[in-house]
Amino acid sequence: MDLLAPIPEAPEPDWAAAFRMPIAECGQPLQALGISQGFLVWPAYHRLGIPNALPECHARSEVFDRLLHAANLLPDGMRLVVLDAWRPFAVQQHLYDTLYDILKHHEPEADPAELTRRTREFVAPPSTRADAPSPHLTGGAVDVTLADRDGRWLNMGSLFDEATPRSYTRHYEAFEQPTKLQRRVRDHRRLLFNVMQAAGFSNLSSEWWHYDYGDQLWAWHTGASKAIYGPAQVLPLEQLWRQQLDGLRKPL
């Protein structure tokens, strides 16, 4: 496969249509990613001090496997880095509200509908609805970047979660005569896009770092008939104990 194939054009998601995609929950559990030897994990929101963010990244078991596959496709000397995966609702709400408020403060005369549209470019609407959960609440959405062999992050042309057009996945594809730096950034994004796509993920066109598998956004992007991941939950110890004790009452 051509790891540096150009990133194709992709439409901005129709969130209403995506949230209408049916969900056939497959029941795959969430797994902690931090013990993986195949890729690096840096839980960005916890490190940045976002309230209620967890010190570990969790994803569905098949997402874990597909991340390993994507990491194995990278050239020698490059590593995949997971920045975020399953996300508590409180974190989703915090990110959405914070970005909306910043945009409103920056452009006080802007129409609320336009502010909502621009906020949705970078943060999905918070939702725990069983039929329309936010992608990161399913354990199917992941935020990723690239690093070198020693863990130094590669230049991707914008910061993670940067709310500017530079974050659009194809931003650096538009330069007809890119500089050496622009070409390097473009190739880093192409490399990330192509290995993640080869592993079965779809990309959110406004965020070079955001990829989905199994959730409604993935189903909408890929033309799948249904999503396989609904809302998921990292259970506290007390609830795990209750489930384990309840399981003792059931025959094997």
Return the CATH number at 62.
3.30.1380.10
Q: Are 144 and 80 in contact (CB under 8 A)?
A: yes
The structure tokens 């003792």 sit at 248
Which of 25, 45, 44 has the alpha carbon at shortest distance from 140?
25
Q: What φ, ψ does residue 217 adopt, rounded to 5°?
A: -65, -40
**3 assigned to some structural domain:** no
User: Rounded mean pLDDT of 79-102?
Assistant: 90
Q: Per the annotation, does 136 bind a ligand?
A: yes
Instruction: Give a yes or no: residue 51 inside a domain.
Output: yes
pTM: 0.89
Domain that holds residue 146: 15-248
Instruction: Output the pLDDT for position 171.
Output: 97
Sign of CA dihedral 238, 242, 243, 244: positive
Three-class SS state of 173? helix
**Total domain count, the chain:** 1
- Exposure string over 118-135, b if 16+ CB within 10 A, otherwise e: bbbbbbbebbeeeebbbb
The pLDDT confidence band at residue 120, using thresholds 50, 70 and 90, is confident
The secondary structure element, H or E, covering residue 113 is helix 112-122
Flag whether 8 is in a domain. no
Q: Amino acid letter at 102? A: I
Evaluate whether residue 10 is within a structural domain. no
Q: What is the pLDDT of residue 99?
A: 81
Residues in the chain: 252
- The mean predicted confidence, pLDDT, of the chain is 91
Residue 57 lies in a domain: yes
Q: Is 143 annotated as belonging to a binding site?
A: yes
Regarding predicted confidence, which is higher, 189 or 93? Answer: 189
Is the pLDDT higher at 38 or at 89? Answer: 38
Coil/strand/helix, residue 216: helix
Q: Which residues partner with 106 through β-bridges?
A: none
Q: Examine residue 230 and state whether it is found in any structural domain, yes or no.
A: yes
Residue 241 lies in a domain: yes
Establish if 100 belongs to a structural domain: yes
Residues noted as catalytic: 207
Rounded to 10 degrees, what is the CA torsion of 99, 146, 139, 194?
Answer: 110
Lowest mean pLDDT of 138-142, 158-162, 185-189, name the range.
158-162
